[in-house]
Structure 1
Amino acid sequence: MHAQEQPASPAAVDENARVGWGFIALLAFAYTGTWLALLTPVLVSIALKVRQLAPETAASSLSLVLGLGAFFALVGNPLFGRLSDRTTSRFGMRRPWLIGGVICGALALLMIATATSIGMVLVGWCLSQLAFNAVLAAIIAVLPDHVPTEQRGTVAGVMGICLPLGQVSGTFLVQSVAGSTLLMFMVPASICVVLVLIFALSLRDRHLEPGKASPFGWRDAVAIYWVNPRQHPDFAWTWLSRLLLVLGTAFLNTYQPFYLIDKLGHPSEQIPKLIFQGILVQTVAIVAVSVLGGRLSDAVGRRKIFVVIGGVVYALGLWIIAAAPDYGTFLLGMTTTGIGHGVYFAVDLALVTDVLPNRWRDAAKDLGIFNVANALPQAIAPAVAPFILATTDGNYGWLFAIAGSVAMLASVTILPAKSVR
């Protein structure tokens, strides 16, 4: 394999040849597999494992596990992104992190599946977050590495359906093997390993010569987690918008099992099936609008209006769920959130690659900082939700109503970005 010639400037990345659908498909499968392994525990498996080990303190134990795990994701994604940008391995810049991360992540999920205490679940989940965020940092960096600007909306639209496809695939697999805790964790993990390895081995990876890696001192360590919002305001506004939208989704994803049990009155044994059905209708809606939204964004040369519409529709879906008197109305809300999610994420990833501070030299690091906006809500939601529930007598309707208001703000905070239309 020959090393790719490094461009003379960050803008030179846009001179890349258009990527084919074979490349896009392998990228999408790997991205879907990573979300399959990482989100299935968040949606179903960890909640059921925690309830099995500590039924009396399930809600607080779940908040502890997911909240601390999200902190490790918060730290890990920019760190591994920066390390990926400076990797001088003869195997490439991204490939070592793809392969090492996915193998370590699968082993960490095995630890959770066989855990005999909440402490073991906690340690296993923190290790899982570190490992899979190394994979995510490398995969996301492939977008500015290889995809020219005129294709980014289309490719981002395809990648926008990967997360929900991972969700629906994971919940389907879990409800299919609900009798085995081991299989609930390891079937998604095994599929992820296969898909990521296929992509990693087929990737024509970038190479960085050992002498060309930038120096790394304590100032650089601090910079891993910082992009100056005064120097790069559009990146900051885009980051904040994503943070607020994902915070709204984090409340929904984390507390769906307890919402269905405590508010709608369904028995625990039905929860995997009910969550699968909800994620399925949401995913159908996402797929229906996501790729179309990304291609339309490329065609008209606009990004912000799609982000605004997506945030508004997602908020509406959360408000429908908050007021739902039955499971049928809940499914209507999930469908509405799917439409909003599809429109928003089809374009948001393309938008952020357009406003990266240094698209070629620090792409993975800066995208790692952007991915903090995905990880931080997973810590905020479990920390804030118990307070909201305590002050509303355990009313999950209020919890999701507040989540909808937060998602609505995601539409507002993208408006000040000026360098993108």
Structure 2
Amino acid sequence: MPNTVDAPSRTRVPMSRIYLFALIELATLGAIITPLVVSLSLKVLQLVPEAEKEGALGIVAALGSLAALLANPIFGSLSDRTRSRFGRRRPWLVAGVVGGLLASVLLAVASSLPMMILAWVLAQAAYNATLASLSALLADQVPEEQRSKASGIFGAFGFLGMVPAMLVAALFASNLTVVMLVMPVFAVVVVTIICFVIPDPPVERQDAGSRSIGQIFSAFLFNPFKVPAFTLVWVQRATMQFGYTVVSTFGLFYLMIRLSMDQTGAASLTSIATLAGAALNVAAAFGCGYLASRRGNYAPFVIGSAALMAVSLLMKAFTDDLAVFWISTALAGFALGAYYAVDLALVMRTLPLGEEGKYLGIFNIAKTLPQSLAPALAPLIVLIGGSDPIAGGDKNYAALYIVAAIAVLGSLLTLPGLRGVLRRADYERGRAAATASTITEKESVA
């Protein structure tokens, strides 16, 4: 049975509104992805000696990821309690992208590594304020029967956010300042315009309002035994994300070792494979999102995506053939899109009423935490088992991909505990029972 009492039944929202929400996602993620793709690396090269570039970039990226991890639940919880005639979520949507633009300006003019780190930490925190509030807005307004469709659209637009980022990096490669600022300016314009169009009624809950510092940081605290379904979905997403991320960390080195490619050729193939995978991500997210919305049963999509991802990883574990690499890349792209088509819709079935922003912020940690842990663990995993069985040498890439496949399949161990929320019929029965129980408790108190 689900561990939440859902809000009263809501009418379907226009699909145009869902696409506007997704456009905010695209613009915001584009502003984050552009630095990660190219501009942080180029900025580091301006500020530190060539021999120190890897270490400096690692520090910048790690601290930025930490800021993103902290910002999501904090700003999600703050938006839950915000009182404003502009609504709960819209003030944070706009403030996040404006803050991100200001931080990007600071990043562009940074003259030292500490200043660069500060700018990137502020940018990550600001943009994650927008992303946390956006997830909460989706939970506020989109009814259950449209959530998997919305999840698919969000997944597709999230991948599409890479396209403008790469175009900007390619078109303005000679002007680092332009590369750093185009997408942040675009995000401010898009989000501000959309916030004038979308509704966000002012909050009327009695527990809204100002909070102490201690209450703000309590956004990270929750009792997993009181929200068991949410906890299991969190674990599932974190495990799946780790399995995918741990191999992408060394993707370039994998191609150089297994396919005997030079650095330039491996970098080119990595870029092409990333774009091809993103195209399949988008197609799968759209298609599976619509199918899941019609069926109301998310289990086949979760199981199928994990199985396909594991097959893809095991194919790469034991090959040095380019054709096999492309087949496995296609499978992984489709699998990831299929998973993203339902994961947001699934977690929204587990959110406690009135704390959607907080819990969606905590859920986003399941996405960002593996991105920090995987790069740290990958160098240790490739030392398991001695030399690589295909390419030889002292780094075992087969071990890396096998561990990733085990992690992905391990995410399915959460499914028995999610029976009450995987199927729409089971979820609605549980919601009705919980609502009836709450009404009975209130009547007995009265």
State which drifts further: 384-393 or 124-133.
Answer: 384-393
Match of 1:90 in 2: 85
Match of 2:418 in 1: 417
| Partner secondary structure for residue 18 of structure 1 | coil
Deviation at 1:285?
A: 1.2
Q: Structure 1: which 5+ residue stretches go unaligned?
A: 1-8
User: Residue by residue, what CA displacement relative to the aligned partner does 1:149-180 show, whole Å, maximum 9, x if unpaired?
Assistant: 11111111111112211123323432333333
The structure-2 alpha-carbon separation of the partners of 1:278 and 1:109, relative to structure 1 and needing over 3 Å to count, comes to farther
Match of 2:76 in 1: 81
Q: Distance in 2 between matches of 1:50 and 1:262?
A: 27
User: Residue by residue, what CA displacement relative to the aligned partner does 1:291-349 show, whole Å, maximum 9, x if unpaired?
Assistant: 22122222222112311221222233344445553666544333221111111110111
Q: Are the aligned partners of 1:168 and 1:276 in contact in 2 as well (CA < 8 Å)?
A: no
Give the alignment of 1:194-273 within 5 angstroms: 194-209=189-204, 213=208, 216=211, 220-221=215-216, 223-256=218-251
Match of 2:442 in 1: none
Q: Distance in 2 between matches of 1:12 and 1:186?
A: 40
Deviation at 1:265?
A: 6.4
User: Residue by residue, what CA displacement relative to the aligned partner does 1:102-143 show, whole Å, maximum 9, x if unpaired?
Assistant: 011123233334444433332222111101110001111111
The structure-2 alpha-carbon separation of the partners of 1:37 and 1:270, relative to structure 1 and needing over 3 Å to count, comes to farther
State which drifts further: 260-269 or 39-48.
Answer: 260-269
Give the alignment's TM-score, normalised by structure 2: 0.82
Match of 1:40 in 2: 34
| Partner secondary structure for residue 22 of structure 1 | helix
Q: Are the aligned partners of 1:259 and 1:396 in contact in 2 as well (CA < 8 Å)?
A: yes
Q: Distance in 2 between matches of 1:47 and 1:266?
A: 22
Q: Are the aligned partners of 1:164 and 1:279 in contact in 2 as well (CA < 8 Å)?
A: no
From 376, 380, 384, the equivalent of 2:373 is: 380
Q: State the identity as a percent.
A: 34
Q: Structure 2: which 5+ residue stretches go unaligned?
A: 387-393, 423-446
| Partner secondary structure for residue 417 of structure 2 | coil
User: Residue by residue, what CA displacement relative to the aligned partner does 1:22-67 show, whole Å, maximum 9, x if unpaired?
Assistant: 2122111111111111123334443454456443234333332222
Q: Are the aligned partners of 1:34 and 1:192 in contact in 2 as well (CA < 8 Å)?
A: yes
- Output the amino acid matched with 1:402: V
Match of 2:284 in 1: 289
Give the alignment's TM-score, normalised by structure 1: 0.86
Q: Distance in 2 between matches of 1:36 and 1:420?
A: 32
- Output the amino acid matched with 2:237: R
| Partner secondary structure for residue 339 of structure 1 | helix
Match of 1:28 in 2: 22
Match of 1:175 in 2: 170
Q: Are the aligned partners of 1:167 and 1:279 in contact in 2 as well (CA < 8 Å)?
A: no
Q: Distance in 2 between matches of 1:139 and 1:238?
A: 19
Q: Distance in 2 between matches of 1:257 and 1:185?
A: 24
Q: Distance in 2 between matches of 1:216 and 1:173?
A: 40
| Partner secondary structure for residue 99 of structure 2 | helix
**1:348 is the counterpart of 2:343:** yes
Deviation at 1:192?
A: 2.3
State which drifts further: 322-331 or 106-115.
Answer: 322-331
Q: Distance in 1 between matches of 2:238 and 2:333?
A: 18
The structure-2 alpha-carbon separation of the partners of 1:224 and 1:83, relative to structure 1 and needing over 3 Å to count, comes to same
Q: Distance in 1 between matches of 2:261 and 2:189?
A: 35
Match of 1:306 in 2: 301
Larger Rg: 2
Give the alignment of 1:329-340 within 5 angstroms: 329-340=324-335
Deviation at 1:81?
A: 0.4
The structure-2 alpha-carbon separation of the partners of 1:249 and 1:124, relative to structure 1 and needing over 3 Å to count, comes to farther
**1:59 is the counterpart of 2:54:** yes
Match of 1:99 in 2: 94
Q: Distance in 1 between matches of 2:151 and 2:270?
A: 26
- Output the amino acid matched with 1:236: T
State which drifts further: 234-243 or 290-299.
Answer: 290-299
Match of 1:4 in 2: none
| Partner secondary structure for residue 220 of structure 2 | coil
Deviation at 1:240?
A: 0.5
The structure-2 alpha-carbon separation of the partners of 1:400 and 1:32, relative to structure 1 and needing over 3 Å to count, comes to farther
State which drifts further: 266-275 or 399-408.
Answer: 266-275
**1:132 is the counterpart of 2:153:** no
| Partner secondary structure for residue 419 of structure 1 | helix
Q: Distance in 2 between matches of 1:244 and 1:169?
A: 29
Q: Are the aligned partners of 1:310 and 1:340 in contact in 2 as well (CA < 8 Å)?
A: yes
- C-alpha RMSD over aligned residues: 2.9
Count how many residue pairs are aligned between Structure 1 and Structure 2: 410
Q: Are the aligned partners of 1:318 and 1:333 in contact in 2 as well (CA < 8 Å)?
A: yes
State which drifts further: 94-103 or 242-251.
Answer: 242-251
From 347, 363, 382, the equivalent of 2:356 is: 363
User: Residue by residue, what CA displacement relative to the aligned partner does 1:373-396 show, whole Å, maximum 9, x if unpaired?
Assistant: 111112212322343457774566
Q: Distance in 1 between matches of 2:251 and 2:37?
A: 8
The structure-2 alpha-carbon separation of the partners of 1:388 and 1:123, relative to structure 1 and needing over 3 Å to count, comes to farther
Match of 2:390 in 1: none
| Partner secondary structure for residue 305 of structure 2 | helix
The structure-2 alpha-carbon separation of the partners of 1:217 and 1:110, relative to structure 1 and needing over 3 Å to count, comes to closer
Q: Are the aligned partners of 2:103 and 2:119 in contact in 1 as well (CA < 8 Å)?
A: yes
State which drifts further: 177-186 or 269-278.
Answer: 269-278
